[in-house]
Amino acid sequence: MPLNDRIDFDVITDWIQPGEKVLDLGCDDGLLLEHLIATHGICGYGVEKDPARVIDCIQRGINVLQIDLEGGLSDFDDQFFDHVIMSLSLQAIQNTVGILHEMLRVGREAIVSFPNFAYWRHRQSIINGRMPVSDSLPYQWFDTPNVRFFTIADFETLCADNGITIREMRAFDDNHPVSEEANFLASLAICRLGK
């Protein structure tokens, strides 16, 4: 079973090498960092806005800073980290392009995971007159933290238009790999990014 039922955590774990310096943006309760520290001996830091989640991180022994990511990552030096991760948080950021550039400024590689709004079940919900609610989009329209609803194809275009290279992309539906027509059949995408 995937770590905490999150297939993106398993993929991210595969992409991280032992001993790396890792920054996790929107790290929530620190579970991913705790896992990477235990399994890979990384030097990990988290950034989280929610005070309750910051306390959760501290209780896990995670180095965490309470920062609003909309302000960027000016507190961090260029290329200080091997990897900068943002798992299932990019859709909650107003300044999408800015944070992607900041991630690649402070890290030699960025890893992002995001829900695919073009997933066929999401499309079906809209056809039925309802906003989609699913494992990858778990909130109702009126209480969602998401400010961006984008597709895998949208993300690929955004990267191409902004000089960001998608080094590898993996797509999933219900924790099962999707190898063809990911923009239609995958509910989740996970990408390794570089310049």
We report the CATH number of the domain holding residue 163 as 3.40.50.150
Distance CA 153, CA 8 (A): 19
- List per-residue pLDDT tens for the chain, 195 residues long: 346 678 999 999 999 999 999 999 999 999 999 999 999 999 999 999 999 999 999 999 999 999 999 988 999 999 999 999 999 999 999 999 999 999 999 999 999 999 999 999 999 999 999 988 888 888 898 888 888 999 999 999 999 999 999 999 999 998 999 999 999 999 999 999 999
Structurally, how many domains does the chain consist of?
1
Distance CA 116, CA 136 (A): 8
Provide the β-strand partners of residue 193.
110, 166
Kindly tell me the sign of the dihedral angle through the C-alpha atoms of 28, 31, 34, 39: negative
Q: What is the DSSP letter of 177?
A: E
Range of the domain at 129: 3-194
Residue with tokens 């998608």: 166
Report the SS3 class of residue 133. Answer: coil
pTM to 2 decimal places: 0.93
